[in-house]
Amino acid sequence: MPSDLSRPSIGVISDSALQRHVLQNALCTYGLNVALSCEPEHLEEQQSERVEKVSCWILELDDEEFESEALDNLIEQTEAPVLFGLGKAPSKHEESYISWERRLFSKLEEHLGKMEILESEESLLALDNRVAETGLTTTQVEPAQLDINESLENQANQAGRQIAKEIWVLAASLGGPTAVKEFLDELPATIPAGFLYAQHVDSHFSNVLTKVLGRHSKLELSPLRNGAEIHEGEVLVVPVDNEVKFHPKGITIQQNPWDGPYGPSIDHLLKNLLERYRENCHVIIFSGMGNDGALLAPRMKRYGCSIWTQSPDSCANGSMPQSVIDLECSEFTATPKELAQALIKRLGFSQSTETE
């Protein structure tokens, strides 16, 4: 995905080619532009217009005694902040890499301000319009009546549904709604699994998100409510602002927010889910910027949980699934439709089962 020109531009200076490469990849994970990346002795050769674009400098030297007049002049004269001492990045295959990458991003936000990586209102409305153009839309019903009808229908459907023994988290950020909708539209109504949809989005758009994804889907989509249980063939949309915990008698919505800068925190959700369901909970990491979900992926793998990923080249932004793939925690990666078809096959379920 090309860098967003409105995002801050970063300058990377390091005497290690490997460190420069790792820093560039980490910055791209969060959609940041790298204005220049060079060794300190080549700083003076850089074009002035590239230097002027830099909003923040990252300086990482293996040789702490290195001396450079150009580097000294830059540090003294630049108005852009200069970050020192971030430490060498671990290998992308090490669990500690994700924590290092998040510290880097946190440091940048301290100096540059909050950098949103959420799904935008414009993209949700665009998806809504594309769905509506198919002619299979529920918008002809009054919104208030639609809510009542959906509530009654959900209660009736849940009365005949089994409590799900196998739980799948659908985790997504930027570009997620389109991918998750494509996945859900492939699944049959009676699939023997329950789903939790965790999407980084502004809380004001949660209801719009649920409506858009529910159209054309054979599964029941609804906001997660206090005391809810997860039924087979059901998708509960995880709240953005409040942590949820899982108990034998149902889900409780806490008063406190999720850990981390974005809600719902996928890592926090997976941690809570793992405590309750152990090897019976699984996750699919869809399109998204950043690396939410990667921190818990190694622990889930050790418990025997399945971790699937959307293929990065099919994502609007492939950073989230790629971070899990880099840790060698993804057992299967594919397009959203292929992921749905694989899940149907895994559960021993055929599309013909519904009509029998």
Pick the more confident residue, 271 or 91: 271
Asked if 29 and 291 touch (Cβ cutoff 8 Å), the reply is: yes
Instruction: Report the range of poorest mean pLDDT among 21-35, 195-209, 239-253.
Output: 195-209
Across the range 131-155, mean pLDDT stands at 45
Residues in contact with 157: Cβ distance below 8 Å, sequence separation at least 6, in sequence order? 220, 233, 234
**DSSP code of 327?**
T
pLDDT, position 338: 98
pLDDT, position 144: 39
**DSSP code of 223?**
E
In terms of C-beta density within 10 A (0-12 exposed, 13-18 middle, 19 or more buried), how is residue 145 classed? exposed
Residue 84 has pLDDT above 90, yes or no: no
Residue 207 has pLDDT above 80, yes or no: no
pLDDT, position 6: 65
Q: How far apart are CA 26 and CA 260, in angstroms?
A: 18
217 — pLDDT class (breaks 50, 70, 90): confident
pLDDT, position 148: 41
Residue 150 has pLDDT above 80, yes or no: no
The structure's pTM equals 0.83
Percent of the chain with pLDDT over 90: 59
Residue type, 54: V
Residue 247 has pLDDT above 90, yes or no: yes
171 — pLDDT class (breaks 50, 70, 90): very high
Pick the more confident residue, 241 or 203: 241
Residue 139 has pLDDT above 80, yes or no: no
Asked if 180 and 197 touch (Cβ cutoff 8 Å), the reply is: yes
Residues in contact with 97: Cβ distance below 8 Å, sequence separation at least 6, in sequence order? 89, 90, 91, 326, 327
Pick the more confident residue, 274 or 134: 274
pLDDT, position 119: 64
Across the range 107-111, mean pLDDT stands at 92
Residue 185 has pLDDT above 60, yes or no: yes
Ordered structural domains, the chain, with CATH: 9-112 (3.40.50.2300), 122-355 (3.40.50.180)
Count of CA atoms in the C-beta half-sphere (13 A) of 107: 20
Angle between helix axes 176-184 and 336-346 (nearest 10 degrees) is 40
